[in-house]
Chains A and B, each alone.
Chain A
Amino acid sequence: MKVRFLNQTVITLLIIFLCLGITQGSAQASPYAKYAGTTIVVNFPAHAFYDAATKLIPEFTKETGIKVEVDKVEYMRMRDKQSLEMAKPKGDYDLVSYVCMWKTEYVSKGLLTPLAPFFTNPALADPNYDPQDFVPAYLAISGLVGGKKGYMPGPTAALYAVPFGSETSIFAYRKDIFDKHGLKPPKTYDEMLKIARTIRQKEPNMYGLTSRGEAGHQVSAAWLFHLTPFGGEVFDDNWEPAFHKEPSLNALKALLEIVKTGPPGISTFGVGSMIDAFLLGNAVMYLDATSICSMVRNPSISKVQGKVAYALHPKAVKHSMETGGFGIGIPANSTKKEAAFLFMQWMTSKQADIKIAKLGGMPNRMSTLRNPELQKEFPEFPAILENLKYANPDWRPIIPEWPEISMQYLGTAIHEVITGKKTPEKGMNDIREPVRKIMEKAGYYSWGK
């Protein structure tokens, strides 16, 4: 009797559990339910786009139950922290934002997870995600690794990140000052440099174009903005240095002229000081990333609201705009990859892109940029679309060795030039040998020509 009673109890309990299981199963209709209560840690830069984007996180947590902890770091310091974190057997970060120029290095070291396994999982991939809608150049520059030259799209490329805070270059100018002196937005570099000289003559406390210029990455980036418009390149097709050749030197000479007619102290300017010089009214022109557009409108940092207009990045021998900014990917050593993917997908969805745009972040999707309602609110969107026609994913060689070459060699040589210690020719020729040595050691010349 006793045994039978026990059996009955066991069976009843089993049935109850089964039923519970089934009801729970049907409750999992929400793809997020399984991960509710999970806390993921994300590493974001201190940057206008991310300031806007983080405002959306409470909404994400409310909708999904996934909690998000944000570790905000100065953007050039993220690489140190991420390299250390992601190389551990088990890291602290479940999602990282990185500057596009680090992607190949990260992937070559096996630090990022390929995204295909998530996009092939119907329980995780949102059918309405529409990755086609991302600005193609942004998706390529932030996420694709392993294609042509290792960092460009191509048959062998795979996706490791999606654009989040990606950007292209835009030319911004003080319309009020231009109108005052009857100046038109420059179409070429010559015109731009001429305007810079005119401003120095006619406006006593104003300067031409603001620019980055601090030794290392910043001054290297400043030169690279002008490099491809002048037809220059860092390496030729055989990975031989080409930064000492004429087109590249022309770009450097243009930078030298920009420094001479620009606000004082460019040789110390990081991104922050470069932007401040424009927002506080010292410089009348700006030629850098699109993130400036929302900053111009922000009264707490800008004195030039309503006085700025946008145009195409001028050309020297051709139009060629930078493509860069940030992408977000999932570290290979994260233990909460699925929840991180869901967060990534939610934050980069069409709806979120619009919301972030309204909060002051620059869009990553074509549908947002083309949205007529938003275009009325944000007059720079058509200008960005125009610039994107010439967006160049190959304006700098994002090989694994690039951060070292850019920060330690180009960034030193170019700084020697802009501070007057060396001529452009000597500065660039002096680093040919050491850069070639790095390339040789990495194996770029081992396949011959």
Chain B
Amino acid sequence: MISLEVKIPDTPGSLIELIKPISNNGGNIYGILHFHDRKTNNMIPVNISFELSESIQEVSLNKIKNELKERSIQIEKISYGIEKKLLTVLLTGHVFDTDVMDTIKRLASKDISVLELHAKFTDLKEYSNVKLKIEFPEEMNKKELTDELRKICKEKNLLLITS
């Protein structure tokens, strides 16, 4: 996800001039925020978020920057936002006896966050069952995440069931 902070004149058609270079160069626009309350010298700060496919990202972004410059739209800031992804998994085994906090902390060290934990168990001697809702970074693919989980589960002799 790419986020551009720009200033555009508060005149009809200005927003189209901002959007055209992005959509013409393969940008998939997610959102536009206008900050009318921060208008100065008839210029409004605008934040536009869009996605470019990885294969064309560098070339397209350069074209977008050039085309905005040709339209006298000044870029204040470019940021590459990180979008988190979600996965639900089940763990079966001695999940608590094998230190579930250690499991969560080890995932956190890889920027993987456990958002929710639901557990069901009948007896401390029996297997417990834990459902985790996990958030992982955009740059990590599902296989990398499950490989990381599998490594921990193998070590702790837990059954991992992924969605």
Partners in one complex: no
